Amino acid sequence: MKSVLLAIAIALAMVTVGNAALDVPAIDQDIFTATLGYRYICGPTVATELVAYWARNGYPNLMNGQPSGEIPDTSAAMYELFRTMLVYSGYTGTYTYPDTMRSGLARYFADKGYEAEVVLTRSTVKWADIKSELNAGRPVLILSYDLNHWLVLTEYTDGPTIYSKYVTDLCGHIPLIRTISLSTLGVFNMKAVYVRPKVITPVTEITPYNEFWYAAAKAWCDANGWEIEKAD
Protein backbone atom coordinates (compact mmCIF):
# COMPACT_ATOMS: atom_id res chain seq x y z
CA MET A 1 0.00 0.00 0.00
CA LYS A 2 2.82 2.38 0.90
CA SER A 3 4.51 1.72 -2.43
CA VAL A 4 1.28 2.59 -4.26
CA LEU A 5 0.92 5.84 -2.34
CA LEU A 6 4.56 6.68 -3.05
CA ALA A 7 4.03 6.06 -6.76
CA ILE A 8 0.97 8.31 -6.74
CA ALA A 9 2.88 11.05 -4.94
CA ILE A 10 5.71 10.87 -7.45
CA ALA A 11 3.26 10.98 -10.34
CA LEU A 12 1.54 14.03 -8.89
CA ALA A 13 4.88 15.74 -8.40
CA MET A 14 5.69 15.20 -12.05
CA VAL A 15 2.45 16.80 -13.27
CA THR A 16 3.21 20.11 -14.95
CA VAL A 17 1.12 23.23 -14.66
CA GLY A 18 1.36 26.66 -16.18
CA ASN A 19 -0.50 29.80 -17.22
CA ALA A 20 -2.47 30.68 -20.32
CA ALA A 21 -0.17 32.33 -22.86
CA LEU A 22 -0.39 36.13 -22.82
CA ASP A 23 -1.18 37.83 -26.12
CA VAL A 24 1.91 40.03 -26.28
CA PRO A 25 2.55 41.57 -29.73
CA ALA A 26 5.74 40.25 -31.32
CA ILE A 27 8.39 42.28 -33.14
CA ASP A 28 11.16 40.96 -35.36
CA GLN A 29 13.98 43.26 -34.32
CA ASP A 30 16.00 42.26 -37.38
CA ILE A 31 13.32 43.87 -39.57
CA PHE A 32 13.44 47.02 -37.46
CA THR A 33 17.24 47.06 -37.69
CA ALA A 34 17.07 46.71 -41.49
CA THR A 35 14.49 49.49 -41.89
CA LEU A 36 15.62 51.94 -39.18
CA GLY A 37 19.34 51.23 -38.92
CA TYR A 38 19.52 50.73 -35.15
CA ARG A 39 21.49 47.72 -33.88
CA TYR A 40 21.47 45.79 -30.59
CA ILE A 41 17.87 46.85 -29.99
CA CYS A 42 16.53 44.01 -27.87
CA GLY A 43 15.88 46.48 -25.01
CA PRO A 44 13.65 48.90 -26.96
CA THR A 45 12.06 45.89 -28.67
CA VAL A 46 10.82 44.26 -25.45
CA ALA A 47 9.76 47.64 -24.07
CA THR A 48 7.65 48.18 -27.20
CA GLU A 49 6.11 44.72 -26.98
CA LEU A 50 5.22 45.12 -23.32
CA VAL A 51 3.73 48.62 -23.72
CA ALA A 52 1.72 47.47 -26.77
CA TYR A 53 0.35 44.57 -24.71
CA TRP A 54 -0.94 46.95 -22.05
CA ALA A 55 -2.25 49.35 -24.70
CA ARG A 56 -4.72 46.70 -25.87
CA ASN A 57 -5.44 45.42 -22.38
CA GLY A 58 -7.04 48.41 -20.71
CA TYR A 59 -4.55 51.27 -21.20
CA PRO A 60 -5.18 52.61 -24.72
CA ASN A 61 -3.39 55.94 -24.25
CA LEU A 62 -0.06 54.12 -24.22
CA MET A 63 0.13 54.12 -28.01
CA ASN A 64 -1.42 55.80 -31.01
CA GLY A 65 -3.61 53.12 -32.52
CA GLN A 66 -3.44 49.45 -31.63
CA PRO A 67 -1.17 46.50 -32.47
CA SER A 68 -2.07 44.84 -35.76
CA GLY A 69 -2.30 41.33 -34.34
CA GLU A 70 0.05 40.04 -37.03
CA ILE A 71 3.28 38.18 -36.26
CA PRO A 72 5.60 39.95 -36.64
CA ASP A 73 3.86 43.27 -36.10
CA THR A 74 5.26 45.80 -38.57
CA SER A 75 2.38 48.26 -38.37
CA ALA A 76 2.93 52.02 -38.40
CA ALA A 77 1.65 52.18 -34.81
CA MET A 78 4.33 49.74 -33.64
CA TYR A 79 7.06 51.59 -35.50
CA GLU A 80 5.97 54.84 -33.86
CA LEU A 81 5.91 53.23 -30.41
CA PHE A 82 9.31 51.64 -31.01
CA ARG A 83 10.86 55.03 -31.81
CA THR A 84 9.43 56.34 -28.56
CA MET A 85 10.81 53.38 -26.61
CA LEU A 86 14.28 54.04 -28.01
CA VAL A 87 14.20 57.09 -25.75
CA TYR A 88 12.26 55.84 -22.74
CA SER A 89 14.13 52.53 -22.42
CA GLY A 90 17.44 54.35 -22.11
CA TYR A 91 18.89 52.70 -25.22
CA THR A 92 22.49 53.89 -25.62
CA GLY A 93 22.99 52.81 -29.22
CA THR A 94 24.54 49.52 -28.18
CA TYR A 95 22.88 48.51 -24.91
CA THR A 96 19.87 48.99 -22.62
CA TYR A 97 20.61 48.96 -18.89
CA PRO A 98 18.10 47.49 -16.41
CA ASP A 99 17.91 50.63 -14.27
CA THR A 100 17.08 52.89 -17.19
CA MET A 101 14.55 50.35 -18.45
CA ARG A 102 12.77 50.38 -15.09
CA SER A 103 12.76 54.15 -14.64
CA GLY A 104 11.89 54.81 -18.28
CA LEU A 105 8.84 52.55 -18.26
CA ALA A 106 7.60 54.08 -15.01
CA ARG A 107 8.01 57.56 -16.50
CA TYR A 108 6.27 56.58 -19.73
CA PHE A 109 3.18 55.24 -17.96
CA ALA A 110 3.03 58.43 -15.87
CA ASP A 111 3.45 60.63 -18.95
CA LYS A 112 0.47 58.87 -20.52
CA GLY A 113 -1.71 59.43 -17.46
CA TYR A 114 -1.40 56.01 -15.81
CA GLU A 115 0.07 54.79 -12.54
CA ALA A 116 2.27 51.73 -12.65
CA GLU A 117 4.54 50.02 -10.17
CA VAL A 118 7.72 49.07 -12.03
CA VAL A 119 10.08 46.83 -10.07
CA LEU A 120 13.63 45.79 -10.95
CA THR A 121 14.98 42.74 -9.13
CA ARG A 122 18.13 43.43 -7.15
CA SER A 123 18.98 39.82 -6.31
CA THR A 124 18.33 36.38 -7.74
CA VAL A 125 15.13 36.26 -9.77
CA LYS A 126 12.64 33.95 -8.05
CA TRP A 127 10.72 31.38 -10.07
CA ALA A 128 7.74 31.91 -7.78
CA ASP A 129 7.69 35.62 -8.67
CA ILE A 130 7.77 34.89 -12.41
CA LYS A 131 4.84 32.52 -12.04
CA SER A 132 2.93 35.01 -9.92
CA GLU A 133 3.33 37.78 -12.50
CA LEU A 134 2.31 35.59 -15.43
CA ASN A 135 -0.64 34.14 -13.51
CA ALA A 136 -1.80 37.72 -12.90
CA GLY A 137 -1.69 38.44 -16.64
CA ARG A 138 1.46 40.56 -16.50
CA PRO A 139 4.31 39.85 -18.97
CA VAL A 140 7.80 39.79 -17.47
CA LEU A 141 10.85 41.50 -18.97
CA ILE A 142 14.05 39.51 -18.52
CA LEU A 143 17.64 40.50 -19.16
CA SER A 144 19.52 37.20 -19.40
CA TYR A 145 23.25 37.74 -18.96
CA ASP A 146 23.88 34.15 -20.08
CA LEU A 147 22.16 34.95 -23.40
CA ASN A 148 23.18 38.65 -23.39
CA HIS A 149 19.65 39.47 -24.45
CA TRP A 150 16.37 41.07 -23.34
CA LEU A 151 13.26 38.85 -23.57
CA VAL A 152 9.55 39.05 -22.77
CA LEU A 153 8.18 36.07 -20.86
CA THR A 154 4.57 35.26 -21.75
CA GLU A 155 3.99 31.74 -20.43
CA TYR A 156 5.48 29.15 -18.10
CA THR A 157 5.27 25.42 -17.57
CA ASP A 158 6.18 24.23 -14.09
CA GLY A 159 8.02 21.07 -13.20
CA PRO A 160 9.87 19.51 -10.26
CA THR A 161 13.40 20.51 -11.35
CA ILE A 162 15.06 23.46 -13.03
CA TYR A 163 15.42 21.30 -16.15
CA SER A 164 11.68 20.64 -16.33
CA LYS A 165 10.60 24.24 -15.81
CA TYR A 166 10.01 26.07 -19.09
CA VAL A 167 9.14 29.58 -20.23
CA THR A 168 7.75 30.84 -23.51
CA ASP A 169 9.32 34.10 -24.59
CA LEU A 170 9.45 36.67 -27.34
CA CYS A 171 13.11 36.78 -28.30
CA GLY A 172 13.10 39.36 -31.11
CA HIS A 173 14.63 36.98 -33.67
CA ILE A 174 13.24 34.11 -35.73
CA PRO A 175 11.65 32.06 -34.23
CA LEU A 176 9.97 35.03 -32.57
CA ILE A 177 8.09 32.87 -30.07
CA ARG A 178 9.98 30.00 -28.50
CA THR A 179 9.96 27.79 -25.42
CA ILE A 180 13.17 27.22 -23.47
CA SER A 181 14.10 25.66 -20.15
CA LEU A 182 14.74 27.76 -17.09
CA SER A 183 18.27 26.37 -16.98
CA THR A 184 18.94 27.73 -20.49
CA LEU A 185 17.54 31.11 -19.52
CA GLY A 186 20.04 31.32 -16.67
CA VAL A 187 17.80 32.03 -13.70
CA PHE A 188 20.80 32.70 -11.44
CA ASN A 189 22.31 35.23 -13.82
CA MET A 190 19.56 37.57 -14.94
CA LYS A 191 17.46 40.59 -14.01
CA ALA A 192 13.69 40.89 -14.17
CA VAL A 193 11.48 43.93 -14.60
CA TYR A 194 7.92 43.61 -13.33
CA VAL A 195 5.39 46.15 -14.63
CA ARG A 196 2.16 46.38 -12.63
CA PRO A 197 -0.25 49.04 -13.92
CA LYS A 198 -2.76 50.32 -11.40
CA VAL A 199 -6.25 49.03 -12.05
CA ILE A 200 -8.45 51.75 -13.51
CA THR A 201 -11.77 52.15 -11.69
CA PRO A 202 -14.52 53.53 -13.92
CA VAL A 203 -15.97 56.79 -12.63
CA THR A 204 -19.77 56.75 -12.50
CA GLU A 205 -21.53 60.11 -12.66
CA ILE A 206 -23.63 60.60 -9.56
CA THR A 207 -27.21 61.73 -10.29
CA PRO A 208 -30.42 61.49 -8.26
CA TYR A 209 -31.39 58.55 -10.44
CA ASN A 210 -28.46 56.33 -9.45
CA GLU A 211 -28.31 57.28 -5.77
CA PHE A 212 -29.09 54.43 -3.37
CA TRP A 213 -32.33 56.00 -2.13
CA TYR A 214 -33.91 56.63 -5.54
CA ALA A 215 -35.25 53.11 -6.16
CA ALA A 216 -37.01 53.01 -2.78
CA ALA A 217 -38.48 56.51 -3.24
CA LYS A 218 -39.77 55.69 -6.71
CA ALA A 219 -41.36 52.44 -5.51
CA TRP A 220 -43.21 54.33 -2.74
CA CYS A 221 -44.40 56.99 -5.19
CA ASP A 222 -45.61 54.36 -7.66
CA ALA A 223 -47.49 52.53 -4.91
CA ASN A 224 -49.20 55.73 -3.75
CA GLY A 225 -50.05 57.24 -7.11
CA TRP A 226 -47.32 59.89 -7.04
CA GLU A 227 -45.05 60.75 -9.94
CA ILE A 228 -41.48 61.92 -9.68
CA GLU A 229 -40.88 64.85 -11.98
CA LYS A 230 -37.44 65.48 -13.39
CA ALA A 231 -36.09 68.97 -12.76
CA ASP A 232 -35.47 71.21 -15.76
Residues pairing with 178 in the sheet: 169
Fold of 19-223: Cathepsin B; Chain A (3.90.70)
- pLDDT score of 231: 60
Distance CA 155, CA 131 (A): 8
As averages over each run of 10 residues, the pLDDT of the chain (232 residues) reads: 44 61 97 97 98 97 97 98 98 98 98 97 93 98 96 96 94 96 90 94 57 71 75 57
Q: What is the reported pLDDT for 9?
A: 42
- pLDDT for residue 151: 97
pLDDT, position 120: 98
What pLDDT does residue 228 have? Answer: 72
How do the domains of the chain map onto residue ranges? 19-223
In 3D, which of 54, 28, 15 has the Cα closest to residue 173?
A: 28
Distance, in Å, from the CA atom of 27 to the CA atom of 216, rounded to the nearest integer, reads 56
Residues near 187 by Cβ (< 8 Å), separated by ≥ 6?
124, 125, 127, 162
